[in-house]
Amino acid sequence: MPGNTIKVFGDKLESQALQKGCEEDIEKHCRRCIGKPTMRTLNKLRKYGIYVLFFMLLFAMVFQFSADLRQPAYPVFKMAETNGTNRIIIVVTPTYKRMTRIPDMLRMANTLSHVKDLHWIVVEDGNRTIPAVEEILKRTNLPYTYMAHKTAVGYPRRGWYQRTMALKFIRSNTSQILGKEHEEGVVYFGDDDNSYDIRLFTEYIRNVKTLGIWAVGLVGGTVVEAPKVIDGKVNAFT
């Protein structure tokens, strides 16, 4: 009996051990079967998640860039107010073909486009006008005149001939330039390679009665070039 009991008990232990071993094997097998696809799925999700995040960032950048392109070519500012005088400013600008001409004209256009009661006369040193320059003039929404006069023989290429042609045009078309809104005008020779403050037009040029001359900074390597005035008369330039 004792031997049988031990044997039976041993059989039970052996049976339990076998059963437990089978359960562990089954559990391990199930883990392997379930775990591998699960890890693959997680890896795929991580991989695709990175792609989705990348395309979302790319879309946001493209959207922002396209929004910037839709901005107006010229920033909108409050127009400078005149001092009440019924005068128009006629800006005469000689120009010629060069590498920096377009950015120079854009800079000047940005200034003049915010000055009220102004007519811009641009004279091309050549046989014909240039479409790119005229497009800049159109975008200012200013009344303008664009014409071409090639420098005549005997004139230096410094815009003198173009200014002379502009003055002839003004004398021949004064009523058209002034229109019904203005009684008189002031002519200002403004080069396209200079930078201008709006206050020069609104506070000074518009108030000129006969002749006005201002200092110019950074000319030909000098700090400033200005008229020397004695007793209200211009005697020299310093």
pLDDT tens across 1-17, in order? 444 443 444 444 445 54
pLDDT tens across 47-83, in order? 667 777 777 777 666 655 554 444 443 333 333 344 4
Flag whether pLDDT at 220 surpasses 80.
no
pLDDT band at 222 (very low <50, low <70, confident <90, very high): low
- Across 33-183, the runs of DSSP E, i.e. the strands, are 87-95, 118-124, 144-148
pLDDT of residue 233: 79
Is domain 87-207 annotated with CATH 3.90.550.10?
yes
Query: What's the length of the chain?
Result: 238
* Cβ–Cβ under 8 Å, residues 148 and 128: yes
Domain limits, the chain: 37-71, 87-207, 210-238
pLDDT band at 221 (very low <50, low <70, confident <90, very high): low
* Cβ–Cβ under 8 Å, residues 226 and 215: yes
pLDDT band at 39 (very low <50, low <70, confident <90, very high): low
Known binder of ligand: residue 193?
A: yes
Average the pLDDT over 39-53 and give the result.
67
User: How much of the chain, in percent, has pLDDT values that exceed 90?
Assistant: 42
pLDDT tens across 186-196, in order? 999 999 998 99
* Cβ–Cβ under 8 Å, residues 196 and 108: yes
